[in-house]
């Protein structure tokens, strides 16, 4: 029997019971739709995060305190020690020892309760210097950014993220208003531009204060050597080609300043590494979403197997007739396997289209307080089609084998 | 062309072995028209299944056109059925969802024969059913369905036509038609073997093999006068 005849026979058999075929296909359609739309959402989130980080430029390095053993030999995690200071940050601007460094932006993170009138929010407070605005690419939408004077005077001024502004002030202009951070009165001098779009909304829900203010007025942590301790020094390198050299230079400067000979008490990581780590994490998340959706695909596959088994029983006599007419085992096997595969592949195709439609529909909308961004990629579609074809084969092969193994005489006698 | 040498077929029913055929030996020549008769349980259907290569004997030798079919694999048997044997069933066994001509095409499809549609239409013409080719079996009368069945059996120009109670489900008028079609095909040189329990159908053939308890109890030619005479007692 030619492959074309096999396909034709399968189509005509499926066509004989359209409602049943349709309902069976529906199981796969729903499964594939779920896989496609959930994975598109996952990929969307991944892209949003990656592009936000990439927009900072790939010529960024992060210097963080390394883990140092403390007292009883307990190792803290990266960033847990307070070994980097504001002076360390400015020392990296040395034009001879660290010529590849273009700018530094130290930061000190803490968190706290922020109250304005009857509204309050608990959020991230980042102590920064004026350079932070350019190095981390946080332009202000209104008002001004923290200035050198603010840092020098430990001024109690704050630049707030757009979602903080909305929470605390609603539609009013926050610039010039006062608010309380951990009980202290601060003046709002600016509002950051919304970074928008990310499913996680990391960057809009934070407030910036002068780094000295953060250290002396808000944070509890003090460095042992005196001076303002910082958690991260963002370093902008002059050009991307000089990344490795910059890492060497920074390490040299810090080793000199910390009088180190042996283990470093700081770590330097690049933007690229951060992106890679994040991508790994979010990829896991995407695969996890896909796997959950895959369960419904599995259920669809079981539906196919069920219907194929019923079909083999119902058509036992037909199988007997075909065998009497000279159909070989393989002919019968292929006929039923192609029926199952057609069901699953048809469902897969329809599911890809539906999934695409769902992803389109969700894209850019806010649902349950989360703004969604979706990204559809061909590889997900191909994967979904391949998986659904495989499901048809897998769940179709057993019923088909039963059909092929039927003895012609018994099949012909079947009532 | 058909040669059975002490063919025995044993079925296992639960824990008991039942011998459906016991040491059956017979030979059938090309162009013969043979009736196999006997009460139910006599082994005539089993003999039919063995002759039709739907089943293999437990012991003994079955030679079909010089080829020993006794111990062939399922797929080889399927091939032989496809090439050499045309089946006509009591219940027609047409596939209900496809047209008459598509039913006739089935053996051609499995045999990968070229120009299927044309050959199938020719076969339908031989049974006088060309104008009903596009109809589905459910739209045809019993007699017409059986004619489609015969056309299907004929389509691959088999050496043997095996008919298992071909008129069992038909009224006498249709039975007469079917019988005369089978007689006509035999006159064209096709070997026809009919399993029947109707005495007057058997009398139309050239030879009657009587079965009882898995054995051939008589095997005798029918007088040519009887064969070409009127179908007495059938009122056809």
Domain stops at, among A240, A264, A288: A264
Is residue B226 very low, low, confident or very high in pLDDT (cuts 50, 70, 90)? Answer: very low
- Lowest mean per-residue pLDDT among A128-132, A241-245, B232-236: B232-236
Chosen from A8, A326, A329, A412 to mutate, greatest number of chain B CBs within 10 A: A326
Residue A117 pLDDT exceeds 70: yes
Residue A270 pLDDT exceeds 80: yes
Which position has the token pair 């806010």? Answer: A366
Nearest Cβ partner of A16 from B97, B110, B152? B97
Is residue B225 very low, low, confident or very high in pLDDT (cuts 50, 70, 90)? Answer: very low
**The predicted structure's pLDDT at residue A150:** 92
Chain B residues whose CB is inside 8 A of the A408 CB are 54
Average the pLDDT over B91-107 and give the result: 94
Instruction: Report, in angstroms and rounded to the nearest whole number, the Rg of chain B calculated over CA atoms.
Output: 17
Q: Which ranges of A77-214 does DSSP label H, i.e. alpha helix?
A: 86-91, 132-135, 148-153, 162-169, 211-213
Interface of A with B in 8-67 (CB under 8 A): 12-13, 16
Is residue A56 very low, low, confident or very high in pLDDT (cuts 50, 70, 90)? Answer: low
DSSP string, B19-66: EEEEEEEEEE-TT-EEEEE--TTSSHHHHHHHHTTSS--SEEEEEETT
CA B111 to chain centre: 19
Interface of A with B in 89-148 (CB under 8 A): none
- Phi (first) and psi of residue B28, to 5 degrees: -125, 130
- Lowest mean per-residue pLDDT among A44-58, A105-119, A133-147, B204-218: A44-58
Nearest Cβ partner of B98 from A12, A324, A328? A12
Question: Is A256 found in the same domain as A287?
Answer: no
Q: Give the list of residues 6+ apart from residue B63 with CB closer than 8 angstroms, or none.
A: B2, B3, B5, B69
Average the pLDDT over B165-188 and give the result: 92
Question: Is A108 found in the same domain as A211?
Answer: yes
Residue A219 DSSP class: -
CA distances from B94 to B97, B98, B148, B229 (A): 9, 9, 8, 32
Average the pLDDT over B213-223 and give the result: 89
- Lowest mean per-residue pLDDT among A51-65, A86-100, A118-132, B170-184: A51-65
Give the 3-state secondary structure of residue A329. Answer: helix
Interface membership of A315 toward B (CB under 8 Å):
no
Interface membership of A331 toward B (CB under 8 Å):
yes
Chain B residues whose CB is inside 8 A of the A325 CB are 81-82, 87, 106-107, 110, 152
CA distance A27 to A351: 10
A368 in any annotated domain: yes
**The predicted structure's pLDDT at residue B100:** 95
CATH number of B31-56+71-228: 3.40.50.300
**The predicted structure's pLDDT at residue A204:** 83
CA distance A160 to A126: 10
Give the 3-state secondary structure of residue B231. Answer: coil
**The predicted structure's pLDDT at residue A201:** 56
- Give the ipTM of the model, two decimals please: 0.91
Is residue A76 very low, low, confident or very high in pLDDT (cuts 50, 70, 90)? Answer: very low
CA distance A361 to A169: 32
Give the 3-state secondary structure of residue A377. Answer: coil
**The predicted structure's pLDDT at residue A370:** 66
- What percentage of residues in chain A have a pLDDT greater than 70? 92
Specify which residues A208 forms β-bridges with: A126, A159
Domain stops at, among A264, A287, A304: A264
A71 in any annotated domain: no
Give the 3-state secondary structure of residue B110. Answer: helix
Chosen from B93, B145, B155 to mutate, greatest number of chain A CBs within 10 A: B93
Please tell me which residue, B93 or A98, carries the higher pLDDT value: B93
Question: Is A288 found in the same domain as A395?
Answer: yes
Question: Is A282 found in the same domain as A366?
Answer: yes
Interface membership of A87 toward B (CB under 8 Å):
no
Average the pLDDT over A192-203 and give the result: 65
Cβ–Cβ gap B54/A5 under 8 Å: no
Q: Compute the nearest-CA separation of B85 from chain A (Å).
A: 8
DSSP string, A328-381: -HHHHHHHHHHHHHHHHHHHHHHHHHHHHHHHHHHTT-EETTEE------HHHH
Of residues B106, B120, B161, B162, the one with CA closest to residue A326: B106
**The predicted structure's pLDDT at residue A97:** 85
Q: Compute the nearest-CA separation of B230 from chain A (Å).
A: 34
Chosen from B95, B108, B138 to mutate, greatest number of chain A CBs within 10 A: B95
- Lowest mean per-residue pLDDT among A17-26, A51-60, A317-326: A51-60
CA B89 to chain centre: 7
Question: Is A252 found in the same domain as A381?
Answer: no
CA distance A111 to A124: 4
Question: Is A298 found in the same domain as A209?
Answer: no
B200, B232 Cβ separation under 8 angstroms:
yes
Residue A59 DSSP class: -
Residue A197 pLDDT exceeds 80: no
Residue A149 pLDDT exceeds 90: yes
Average the pLDDT over B193-216 and give the result: 91
A64 in any annotated domain: no
Average the pLDDT over A329-349 and give the result: 94
A36 in any annotated domain: yes
Chosen from A20, A325, A333, A412 to mutate, greatest number of chain B CBs within 10 A: A325
A68 in any annotated domain: no
**The predicted structure's pLDDT at residue A81:** 56
**The predicted structure's pLDDT at residue A311:** 94
The total number of structural domains in chain A stands at 2
Residue B167 pLDDT exceeds 70: yes
CA distances from A96 to A101, A201, A268, B54, B142 (A): 10, 40, 20, 95, 105
Compute the mean pLDDT over every residue in chain B, rounded to the nearest whole number: 89
Cβ–Cβ gap B110/A412 under 8 Å: no
* Triad A87, A92, A98: Cα angle to 5°: 155
Chain B residues whose CB is inside 8 A of the A318 CB are 95
Average the pLDDT over B9-36 and give the result: 91
Around Cβ A201, how many Cβ atoms within 10 Å? Answer: 17
A69 in any annotated domain: no
- What percentage of residues in chain A have a pLDDT greater than 90? 40
The B-side interface with A (CB below 8 A) comprises: 49, 52, 54-55, 74-75, 78-79, 81-83, 87, 89, 93-95, 97-98, 106-107, 109-112, 152
Compute the mean pLDDT over every residue in chain A, rounded to the nearest whole number: 86
Question: Is A179 found in the same domain as A149?
Answer: yes
Domain stops at, among A264, A288, A304: A264
Chain B residues whose CB is inside 8 A of the A1 CB are 109-110, 112
A178 in any annotated domain: yes
- What percentage of residues in chain B have a pLDDT greater than 90? 74
Question: Is A241 found in the same domain as A354?
Answer: no
Residue A34 pLDDT exceeds 50: yes
Q: Give the list of residues 6+ apart from residue A359 with CB closer than 8 angstroms, or none.
A: A36, A37, A40, A41, A374, A376
Interface membership of A329 toward B (CB under 8 Å):
yes
DSSP string, A4-35: HHHHHHHHHHHHTTHHHHHHHHHHHHHHHHHH
Answer left, alpha or beta for residue A376, where phi above 0 means left and psi between -120 and 50 means alpha: beta
Domain span at residue A361 reads 3-53+277-413
A65 in any annotated domain: no
Total residues found in chain A within this entry? 415
């Amino acid at each position: 029997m030619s492959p074309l005849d096999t396909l034709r026979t399968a189509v005509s058999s499926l066509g004989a019971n359209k409602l049943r075929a349709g309902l069976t296909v529906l199981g796969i359609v729903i499964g594939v739709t779920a896989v496609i739309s959930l994975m598109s959402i996952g990929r969307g989130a991944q892209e949003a995060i990656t592009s936000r980080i990439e927009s900072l430029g790939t010529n960024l390095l992060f210097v963080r305190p390394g883990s140092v053993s403390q007292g009883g030999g307990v190792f803290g995690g990266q960033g847990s020690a307070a070994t980097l200071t504001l002076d360390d940050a400015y020392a990296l601007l040395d034009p001879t020892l660290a010529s590849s460094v273009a700018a530094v932006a130290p930061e000190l993170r803490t968190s706290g309760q922020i109250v304005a009138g009857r509204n309050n929010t608990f959020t991230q407070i980042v102590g920064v210097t004026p350079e932070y605005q350019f190095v981390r690419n946080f332009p202000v939408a209104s008002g001004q950014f923290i200035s050198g004077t603010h840092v020098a005077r430990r001024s109690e001024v704050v630049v707030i993220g757009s979602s903080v502004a909305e929470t605390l002030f609603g539609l009013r202009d926050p610039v010039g208003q006062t608010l309380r951070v951990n009980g202290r009165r601060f003046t709002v001098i600016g509002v950051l531009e919304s970074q928008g779009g990310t499913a996680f909304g990391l960057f809009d829900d934070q407030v910036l204060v002068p780094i000295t203010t953060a250290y002396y007025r808000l944070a509890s942590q003090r460095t042992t050597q005196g001076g303002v301790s910082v958690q991260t020094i963002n370093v902008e390198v002059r050009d991307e080609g000089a990344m490795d050299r910059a890492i060497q230079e920074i390490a040299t400067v810090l080793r000199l300043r910390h009088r180190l000979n042996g283990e470093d008490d700081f770590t330097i990581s690049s933007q690229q590494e951060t992106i890679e780590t994040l991508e790994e994490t979010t990829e896991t998340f995407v695969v996890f979403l896909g796997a959950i959706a895959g369960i419904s695909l599995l259920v669809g596959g079981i539906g196919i197997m069920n219907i194929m088994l019923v079909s083999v029983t119902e058509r036992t006599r037909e199988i007997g007739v075909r065998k009497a007419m000279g159909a070989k085992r393989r002919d019968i096997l292929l006929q039923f396997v192609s029926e199952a595969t057609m069901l699953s592949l048809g469902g897969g195709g329809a599911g890809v289209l539906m999934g695409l439609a769902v992803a389109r529909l969700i894209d850019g909308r806010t649902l349950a307080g989360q703004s969604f961004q979706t990204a559809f990629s061909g590889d997900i579609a191909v994967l979904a089609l391949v998986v659904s074809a495989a499901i048809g084969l897998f769940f179709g092969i057993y019923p088909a084998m039963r059909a092929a193994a039927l003895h012609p005489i018994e099949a012909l006698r079947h009532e | 062309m058909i040669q059975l040498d002490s063919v025995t077929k044993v079925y296992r029913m639960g824990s008991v072995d039942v011998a459906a055929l016991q040491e059956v030996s017979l030979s059938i020549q090309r162009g013969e028209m043979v009736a196999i008769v006997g009460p139910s349980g006599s082994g005539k259907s089993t003999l039919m299944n063995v002759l039709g290569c739907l089943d293999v004997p437990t012991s003994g030798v079955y030679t079909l056109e010089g080829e020993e079919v006794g111990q062939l694999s399922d797929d080889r048997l399927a091939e032989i059925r496809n090439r050499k044997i045309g089946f006509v069933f009591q219940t027609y066994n047409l596939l209900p969802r496809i047209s008459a001509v598509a039913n006739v095409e089935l053996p051609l499809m499995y045999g990968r024969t070229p120009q299927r549609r044309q050959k199938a239409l020719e076969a339908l013409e031989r049974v006088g059913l060309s104008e009903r080719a596009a109809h589905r079996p459910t739209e045809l009368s019993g007699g017409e369905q059986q004619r489609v069945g015969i056309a299907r059996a004929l389509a691959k120009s088999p050496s043997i036509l095996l008919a298992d109670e071909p008129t069992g489900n038909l009224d006498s008028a249709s039975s007469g038609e079917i019988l005369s079609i089978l007689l006509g095909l035999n006159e064209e040189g096709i070997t026809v073997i009919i399993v029947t329990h109707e005495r007057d159908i058997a009398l139309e053939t050239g030879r009657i093999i009587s079965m009882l308890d898995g054995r051939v109890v008589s095997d005798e030619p029918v007088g040519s006068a009887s064969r070409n005479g009127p179908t007495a007692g059938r009122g056809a």
